[in-house]
Chain A
Amino acid sequence: MSAEQDHENLTLDDGLTDFFVTADERQTSRASYLADPAFSSVALTSSTVVGEGTVELLAFWVSNEEYAVDIREIHEIMKVPELTEVPRAPAFLIGLISLRGTVVPILDLRLILGLSVTDVSRSSRVLVLRAGGEPVGILVDRVTSVVRLEQGAISNRPKAMRLGAAEVIDGVGRIDDRVLIILDTKAVVGVLEK
């Protein structure tokens, strides 16, 4: 699988944009949507090829910590749509959406990570993870950018992590003075199966 191929999926075409923008945002044109600072231009120009030993990550804020996931794991990024609440479900499952006919559960990452929960804001986004064919969405507070990291810049996860958060964390990446906590998407999605 080429990195290029994967990037293409990130580009939101007209139809999708229309579909995922909630009613009050529908007037926003596609151009302005893509110009949203939440999307780095790197993510959407799709021409760069990533060399061996480098990973591309999408970085985002959750509460007051910066996290990242492998960009190849991301199916799409969307503004927070209207959610259908699910009774009898664990608290972190905040609802369902329908993504072109597929039911996608949305998880509140803050509850999984044991972080403080604030209201959904204008900058909140849902990242839809591929999750092995049955997509799962995660709610994040703000998407920052796409970063490239050498494998060497990623260290194993520190031993002293908050309880609960530890099992969904893959490692810690450093870029300049930023510290990115890299999520293990499989484990994040896995909390649903417990």
Chain B
Amino acid sequence: MSKVSVSPEFIAEAQEIVDALNRDLIAVDQETRDGNQDVDPDRINNLFRSAHSLKGISGMFGLEAVSSLSHDMENLLDGMRLGKVSMDAKVLDVLFSCVDRFGVLIDEAAHGIVSDPSGSETLHKQLEEAATGTSDEEKVDLLDTIDLDKDILSVFTEYEEHRLRENIKRNKNLFTLRASLDLATFDEALAALDEILQGKAEVISKLPSADEVEPGNLGFDIIVGSPLNEDEMEKLTKGHVLLVVPIGCTHEVIPPPPDVPTANTANTANTANTESVAPQSGQDTGESPAATDGKDGGKQEPPKSGGGGGGGGGERPRAVQTVRVDIRRLDRLMNLVGELTLTKMSVQGISERLKQDFGFTGLAVDLHKESRIFERRLAELQAGIMEVRMVPLDNLFERMVRIGRHIGRDLGKVVRIEVSGAHTELDKLIVEDLADPLMHLIRNAVDHGLEMPEQRLAEGKPEEGTIKLSAMAQGNHVIVAIADDGNGINTERVLERAINRNLVSEERAEEMSKRDIYNLLFTPGFSTVEQVTEYSGRGVGMDVVKTNIAELSGIIDVDSAIGKGTTFTVTLPITLAIIPALVVSISGQVYALPLNNVLETISLVDIVIKTIEGREVISVRGTTVPLVDLREIFYLEGTRPEGAFCVVAGVGENRMALVVDELIGQQDIVIKSLGRRLRNIPGIAGATELGDQKTILVIDMVGLLTELTKLDDGGDRTKVAV
């Protein structure tokens, strides 16, 4: 054992991962106990990813005990992902023990104690055993129970064999469907068959048949596993296949497939069985029903250690004195505050009416006073919840520094990262979603911005490259900048690449300003899929960075000087939960325009509106800005009234002036999503409620601007305004 100091940030991150592991294991435990052998593959993938992340970060901090254990765990889970290892009570037990061990090791690390891996010897052995053992003897057994030609089995891929075994294990009926298909159209016929079988049977393999079929036709043996019995299968596939040959109906009683509502069509043998199986308890966390599995029956139950997601280990000292709260809970609270605001307004309305109808005396005065107090407390509550959501950027910045150094080392560059303004606070959700784009920008700065040490020396620069990572608050915005002192952006090379990739025409390239050229970096298709490394493996291009930031209502800008370096500036709103908005009306419809992107509002009365190529433009401070009338884009009835206004909005260098009939006022709004099914209506960011219980739409300014910019780049207006 040795004493070291490990950053509290690592501890928090590691604990989060361990909590996630614990959660997923408990879920798997629950699923397998319900008598269901079918573990959700996503869960295994989640577990695998968690183990992988834990390995990564613990390795970075030199916690070998954690990293080697998570490495072995990752191996086991990888085997499970590929179906080489099955999830049973014993394996689950080992995994739970590992998670417990991680908890201990991380707590120790938090107190500066670092154990070496030898303390986890037994667990390592168990993991290895689990990863290699089990399946072989089972394979022989299971495959012997079915009536399938050995020749056919021999051509199965490993995956097909695995699926076959899974189907046998789950007591599915197995069939060979013999089909004779016209040579010319057999692929369509197979696709049609797939569609019929969809949801009713799993196609394990499609093998061209050796047997003679009609001339000009191709024979296929399709091996499927299904809960249907022979008659049902024949009925289902009638007209598509010649023959249905059962090749294995290993058990008489077939348990109803889980979560299939049409279970009553499955087979009649079920009804006898269902009585002994308690109804599925849904997501109840209570005791799982006494499933008649018998498979895990005799074995010891896996310990449900750790309790529900991090609640366990109460006797151990907690490493971090914080409460981790799901941000959605805060969203719910924020929604409640929104509702309360509406109630407050109603109460104030009543108070006003009382004043008018009965005079400002007695109870009317009291009600008025109380409603004022209500208003103040409510504002405090809202501010309080906002505050809980706000986190400083320091964690994120530290992570970026670590990543930057690491990449520098990998690429043979000497990198110094200077951080400033790390105490600046932002909404937790924004900080989380900022991690990916920021990581990419840092990687980009180290990889493409900074030169190799020799080259730097030759240019008379210090060998060590500097990247300045800074943040500062500016009103309701936070500006994050990543500045390197490298080569700068070579505009000629950017243009060359853009022309090669047909992103711009040569004619257009000639009239492009420096800024236009820089913006090409963010064009989809400009960034190449770089070689897959630890940091670029996501295939993120700069266009994705821009989209990610735009989704946060942010703006990214780039500036560069040859030989001196490049600066990326990201401007973000402090929060997305509650934002100031301008409430306006257009053709009698009321809309909210988020102020984040609003630059100014101008009365159109004294403004000269010109047209360029049939489109209206106005001149704002020397720049020509397109005048956008939502009546046209949203197909609203009515015409522009006298004395209308326009709201000038901007994202980066792009500007638009939105015509509005009436400015109703400014108000803080809580944007509500239109839900999964409606999220794709262009130009609409969501909805919000005003005090009079009216629901209004929130305009997606960034989206509209992007849409218009695309139009300017040669798009066809009618196409976009669908």
Contact = CB atoms under 8 A, between A and B. Distances in A.
B422 to A, nearest CB: 35
Interface stretch (A28-36, A56-64, A78-86, A161-169): A78-86
A103 B682 contact: no
Contacts of A192: 677-678
21 contacts: A1-B282, A84-B695, A84-B697, A86-B678, A87-B630, A87-B635, A87-B681, A88-B634, A88-B635, A88-B684, A93-B678, A96-B697, A98-B695, A101-B335, A101-B338, A101-B339, A105-B674, A105-B675, A134-B675, A134-B677, A136-B677
Describe B's contact surface by its main secondary structure.
mixed
A25 to B, nearest CB: 14
Contacts of B675: 102-103, 105, 134
A49 interface: no
Contact of A100 (B282, B339, B678): B339
B677 A86 contact: no
A97 interface: yes
Interface residues of A, number: 22
A135 B675 CA distance: 9
A119 B590 CA distance: 23
Q: Which of B634, B674, B677, B694: most chain A Cβ within 10 A?
A: B677
Nearest to B630: A87
A102 to B, nearest CB: 7
Given A103-B695, A134-B675, A84 B681 contact: no
Interface string A100-138: 111101000000000000000000000000000010100
Given A96-B695, A105-B675, 13 more contacts: A84-B687, A84-B695, A86-B697, A87-B634, A87-B635, A87-B697, A93-B678, A101-B336, A103-B672, A103-B674, A103-B686, A103-B687, A134-B675
Contacts of B589: 85
B695 A88 contact: no
Question: Among the interface residues B635, B673, B674, B675, which one has the most CB atoms of the partner chain A within 10 A?
Answer: B675
B558 interface: no
A100 B686 CA distance: 16
A134 B679 CA distance: 12
A84 B634 CA distance: 14
Contacts of A14: none
A84 B675 CA distance: 15
B435 interface: no
Given A96-B695, A101-B335, A101-B339, A88 B683 contact: yes
Contacts of B681: 86-89
A88 to B, nearest CB: 6
Nearest to B696: A84
A103 B673 contact: yes
A39 B676 CA distance: 31
A87 B722 contact: no
A63 B501 CA distance: 56
Given A82-B694, A103-B687, A96 B634 contact: no
Given A88-B634, A88-B722, A97 B695 contact: yes
A189 interface: yes
B425 interface: no
A98 B669 CA distance: 14
Interface string B131-171: 00000000000000000000000000000000000000000
A101 B676 CA distance: 15
B381 to A, nearest CB: 16
A192 B677 CA distance: 6
A134 B674 CA distance: 10
B636 interface: yes
B672 A98 contact: yes
Given A101-B335, A101-B672, A87 B684 contact: yes
Contacts of A96: 674, 687, 695, 697
A177 interface: no
Contacts of A87: 630, 633-636, 681, 683-684, 697
Contacts of B693: 98
A69 to B, nearest CB: 15
B100 to A, nearest CB: 35
A60 B495 CA distance: 64
Closest 4 CB pairs of A and B: A87-B634, A192-B677, A98-B695, A101-B335
A134 B635 contact: no
A85 B335 CA distance: 22
B689 interface: yes
Contacts of B674: 96, 103, 105
A84 B683 contact: no
Nearest to A87: B634
A176 interface: no
Contacts of A105: 674-675, 677-678
A76 B279 CA distance: 27
A193 interface: yes
Contacts of B684: 86-88
Nearest to B338: A101
A189 B697 CA distance: 21
Contacts of B338: 101
A82 to B, nearest CB: 7
Given A85-B589, A103-B675, A98 B689 contact: yes
B613 to A, nearest CB: 24
